[in-house]
């Protein structure tokens, strides 16, 4: 994890408990990458959390490009509503 990352990490077998949810190391790396890619988006509340981003990663079967496209679309849709 990056030095600036203050997320609590507890090792538990093959999963990590981060910010109140469990994910694999690969999933967590994808969440970090998605967060970096989407840093330009004006998100607030739940929509800006790692847990929310994790849901998009899992929904797109760890395909980061597809998860980013879906996440950006969801944020854009919420912004105009």
Q: What is the pLDDT of residues 28-76, one digit of tens each?
A: 999 999 999 999 998 989 999 999 999 999 999 999 999 999 999 999 9
Listed by start position, the domains of the chain span 9-80
We find that the CATH architecture of domain 9-80 is Orthogonal Bundle (1.10)
Please say whether the dihedral angle defined by the alpha carbons of residues 71, 75, 76 and 81, taken in this order, is positive or negative: positive
Residue 5 pLDDT more than 80?
no
pTM for the full predicted model: 0.75
């Amino acid at each position: 994890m990056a030095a600036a990352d203050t997320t609590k990490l507890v090792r538990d077998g093959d999963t990590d408990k981060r910010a109140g949810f469990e994910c694999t190391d690969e999933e967590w790396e994808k969440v970090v990458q998605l967060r970096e890619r989407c840093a330009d988006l004006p998100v607030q509340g739940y929509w800006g959390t790692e847990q929310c981003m994790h849901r998009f990663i899992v929904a797109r079967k760890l395909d980061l490009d597809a998860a980013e496209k879906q996440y950006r679309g969801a944020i854009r849709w919420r912004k105009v509503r």
